[in-house]
Structure 1
Amino acid sequence: MKTKTLCLAALTFNLITFQIMSQTKDFTTTPTGLKYIIHVKGKGVQPKPGERVSVNYVGKLINDTVFDSSYKRGQPFTFTLGQGQVIKGWDEGISLLSEGDSATFIIPPDLGYGQQNMGSIPPNSTLNFAVKLVKIFPEIKVEPYNTGGKDTITTPTGLKVIIVSEKNKNGDRPPKGATVKVHYTGYFEDGKIFDSSVKRGEPISFPVGKGMVIKGWDEGISMLKAGDKARLLIPYRLAYGDAGRSPVIPAKANLIFDVELIDFVPEVKPPAFNTKGKDTLSTPTGLKYIIVDKGKEGSVKAETGKTVSVHYTGFFENGDVFDSSVQRGQPLSFQLGKGMVIKGWDEGVSLMKTGDKFRLLIPYQLAYGEQGYPGVIPPKSNLIFDVELMDVK
């Protein structure tokens, strides 16, 4: 019943979009160039910058191709308004709505992804969104840690750490590769908050020391024990560097983080699939794959546009693990064939059915290319993935 309801809701959104797109004269145009129309009025209030909002949406190109939809994932998208966590057209457009409103946005390229190629979204694309502002979450007030009278530790790299409180002075620190769970609030030097897991009510988890976060975090978190609270004063060289991270982090920005290491789980290296005696198959693109195990009869085929859920472990050619959903205990979901993952994944997973286990041997041209992925994947790295297709929706 829930699935049918979601489908009907998405269909209603699509129909509304079709009807409205032919009536652009009814749209309101803002000074930035955003066009919007509210077609169903809710009864709630407007969100304020800094508040978390939950939004259902269908995104289309001007040729009517759907490139993304929260309905396909079965849950609305939640983000903090006015913090640069979404494209400019969304930050502006959602701020014009009230809770319960349904609207259509026509977002010009400079308020969208500009000249960037974002998967199935070509450069300089005008984007059409049918959106519904489902819920506004009141802003959670965050107070900076009180560091008065606390010692500042300076490391050889230039990182400064202030231990604010210790839960267990004799506790262990997370070893390299341990999955840590952390609450944090990030500040600029002027005291302005730019990001906070506390406000979202959701701590983040990542393998420490693996380059999955900025260098100052990898170093700083590894110095803490479970339960510790600390302030990290991170020079820009250990943060987002000379370039920053547009549009949120300016160039050469020194950052301050109040962090709490909630817990950590030591790394358990997932066993590699046993491929002994299995044939290695090749595709015209250069992808190689090994069918390790087949799913049950009647399994569902992964198809372009469907949302797939996979468990995976990624290995370098020397056998070292660089990433694993198995270690995190949480499969990865993404829309297949839409450029949301590396090319070798889009191609390889499309060959699978639910329950299948494949090894994908991906040449660097179908992975992260000549440049690699800074801090994690070296340039021109051929990668190996053991993948299990869990679900297709």
Structure 2
Amino acid sequence: MRSPRLRLAALAAAPLLLLAGCATDGGDGDAASQSDDAAVTSAVLNGDIEELAVDTGEKSPVITWKDKPFTDGDLPFRVGATESRTVEEGDGAEVAAGDEVRARYLAVNGTTGEQLLSTYDADETVTLDLSNTNLFPAFLEELPGRKAGETLLLAIPASEAFGSGGNEQIGVGADDTLVFYLEVVSSAKPLTEATGEAVKPKAGLPEVEADGTSAAKITIPEGTEEPSKLVVQQLIKGEGEKVKAGQTIKVHYTGVKFSDGEGFDDSYQRGTPAEFPIGVGQVIKGWDEGLVGQPVGSRVLLVIPADQAYGELPEDTGSSTAPPAHELAGETLVFVVDILGAS
């Protein structure tokens, strides 16, 4: 029997706005693959990134065009190919290809002048995973070699971000140009296993042996009481920022059934960490409740009753039209999860 999978959404470790190919344009659905054929044919290309600057005197930065607020300029602002310009040099650690970069940014639609997103409004950072090929090519190409503390401007045609159709879902037309002001806060190599301070677990829990490079060995000692409520036990306390609801997290995990200790799924057999949004109902409830608030780098033991996993076994109604129960319905599940990143 094939092992059932968690309800994981295949999303990359980056904000939706910064992911290429998120929109479809009526073709084969792969907007990113059509970007080479995309051309701004009807739009006037009047943009020059050298004419842009940034006023950082307020809490949130303001992009200016020819010394005036961007929105007061002679819109639309359009470029035919990606342009970049350093605003201020950095003096921190150098970004390497494949790093996870913590950044702040402001994104504006160059056609309308409307703000698309600003991390400054909430005084937050985002993590850009440069090993993720779904990230805008401009970020994959422009960020390596820059240093922490550096700020830069980017002007990116929609065709070189989302493909020939743009992304109308977030208000970016096919002929629009995206203008970014981005601040490199820090960068580091992606975690491959939990890293931090070991935590002694409470007595009476499943026992765990984990080396971070292969599936954890989880043992249910005889006489261990099956919990009626979610159990969340740190095994390693990570040193990163706490996971927030709505972020996409990157994890390695192992799952077994409490009833017999039989394994049913682990990410190690697939060779890559799993990535999915957390705290928004995309995975089982026990994961949403157990992982939000945990620091990145943590290893967490979750013991999840059936009502917070795949539900209780349904009563036999005798109806042939009743939907079949999930293979793990009625089971209390035990997971060991290494939280490798959150963005």
TM-score bucket (shorter structure): 0.3 to 0.5
Higher RCO, 1 vs 2 (CA within 8 Å, ≥6 residues apart) = 2
Q: Which has the higher helix share?
A: 1
TM-score, structure 1 length as denominator?
A: 0.37
TM-score, structure 2 length as denominator?
A: 0.42
